[in-house]
């Protein structure tokens, strides 16, 4: 699409955008887009951010309708936090392999092994898993959430192995147990690919999402070779705006590069791996957003019994906010 490269919208895109704007007014709707969405989707959104930012926007909005441009668990999260609003997802098939990595049955069995444990579930989980959890977290506040828990209590952290391992390393917590799940996109950003890109761009800074398979190697790189930062997507955006560096190697899903380049036109942002594309995030299009608003489809409403149990861990997630700093 033309907007992906910063070119003017085509006639078809301009028509869709005008339709969407009119339907938003008619429906009293707010469009929320994750940082990994297609460029045109990010550009049409009222709010763009990571999972934590979108959860906050959803809670604070006075709009009657929320259009969640992201994957299914994000729409569920909005429904849990905003039961009085209509939550629409433009494509209900937009799933998440990481959210699928832990089922409620698996979590129940894990909890039975550690009956005194506190369960911290990454927000990339189903509503049913959240309902069995004590806390939820995002990559932006995972360290802070774990640090808020009694150090003598065991912690079950899932489903992302790489994020959980990073949290264990930063907190030094020996009683943190990590589920062996992964985001297939981030796990495929291999250390070798990342190091090759760094070597091709001496003097660059390295921004790494903690879900990545290359996180440990990135932190082990000598400072004289590259300055490595482990950050959430919104953390990367903040850091890039404030840094005096002009070239960055970015290890996360490629959708973030659209916003990084848009907000920092004088700086270069290079992917650590060109293949880091989430097919589910790319399922949302301008046409599907238009159809969702026009036809009031596809509504996501979490059953009330699950919603009530999932609300507390999500509220704890939103309440525990990291300070404005450059690491999570």
Task: Tell me if 62 is assigned to a ligand binding site.
Answer: no
* Nearest CA-CA partner of 126 in 145, 147, 104, 143: 104
Query: Exposed/middle/buried for 303, CB within 10 Å: 0-12, 13-18, 19+?
Result: exposed
Task: Tell me if 154 is assigned to a ligand binding site.
Answer: no
Task: Tell me if 264 is assigned to a ligand binding site.
Answer: no
Task: Tell me if 139 is assigned to a ligand binding site.
Answer: yes
Task: Tell me if 201 is assigned to a ligand binding site.
Answer: no
Token digits of residue 131 = 């309902």
- Rounded Cα distance between 153 and 112, Å, is 15
What's 220-275 look like in SS3? HCCCCCCEEEECCHHHHHHHHHHCCCCEEEEECCCHHHHHHHHHCCCCEEEECCCC
Distance of CA 321 to the CA centre of its chain: 15
Going from the C-alpha of 282 to that of each of 39, 43, 195, the distances in angstroms are: 10, 14, 27
Under 8 Å between Cβ of 307 and 80: yes
Task: Tell me if 278 is assigned to a ligand binding site.
Answer: yes
Task: Tell me if 82 is assigned to a ligand binding site.
Answer: no
Task: Tell me if 209 is assigned to a ligand binding site.
Answer: yes
Task: Tell me if 321 is assigned to a ligand binding site.
Answer: no
Phi-psi region of 130 (alpha: psi -120 to 50; beta: other; left: phi over 0): alpha
Token digits of residue 132 = 């069995």
Rounded to 10 degrees, what is the CA torsion of 266, 270, 271, 273?
170
Q: Which residues are annotated as a binding site for iminosuccinate?
A: 34, 51, 122-124, 139, 209-211, 233
Q: Which residues are annotated as a binding site for [4Fe-4S] cluster?
A: 96, 183, 278
Q: Which residues are annotated as a binding site?
A: 34, 51, 96, 122-124, 139, 183, 209-211, 233, 278
């Amino acid at each position: 699409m033309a907007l992906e490269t910063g070119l003017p919208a085509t006639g078809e895109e301009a028509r869709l955008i005008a339709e969407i704007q009119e339907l938003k007014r008619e429906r009293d709707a707010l469009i929320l887009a994750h940082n990994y969405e297609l460029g045109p989707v990010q550009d049409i959104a009222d709010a763009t951010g990571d999972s934590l930012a979108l959860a906050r926007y959803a809670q604070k909005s006075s709009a009657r309708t929320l259009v969640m441009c992201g994957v299914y668990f994000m729409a569920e999260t909005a429904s849990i936090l905003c039961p009085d609003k209509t939550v629409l997802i433009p494509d209900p098939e937009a799933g998440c392999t990481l959210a699928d990595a832990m089922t409620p049955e698996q979590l129940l069995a894990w909890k039975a092994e550690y009956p005194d444990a506190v369960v911290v579930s990454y927000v990339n989980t189903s509503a049913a898993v959240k309902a069995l959890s004590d806390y939820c977290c995002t990559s932006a506040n995972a360290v802070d959430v774990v640090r808020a828990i009694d150090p003598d209590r065991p912690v079950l952290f899932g489903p992302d192995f790489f994020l959980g391992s990073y949290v264990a390393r930063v907190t030094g917590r020996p009683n943190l147990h990590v589920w062996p799940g992964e985001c297939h996109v981030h796990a495929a950003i291999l250390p070798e690919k990342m190091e090759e890109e760094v070597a091709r761009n001496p003097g660059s800074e390295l921004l790494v999402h903690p879900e990545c398979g290359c996180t440990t190697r990135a932190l082990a790189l000598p400072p004289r070779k590259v300055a490595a930062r482990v950050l959430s997507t919104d953390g990367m955006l903040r850091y890039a705006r404030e840094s005096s560096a002009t070239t960055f190697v970015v290890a996360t899903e490629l959708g973030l590069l659209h916003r990084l380049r848009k907000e920092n036109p004088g700086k270069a942002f290079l992917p650590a791996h060109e293949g880091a594309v989430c097919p589910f995030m790319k399922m949302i299009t301008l046409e599907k957003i238009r159809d969702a608003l026009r036809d009031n489809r596809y509504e996501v409403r979490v059953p009330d019994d699950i919603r009530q149990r999932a609300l507390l861990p999500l509220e704890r997630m939103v309440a525990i906010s990291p300070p404005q700093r450059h690491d999570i």
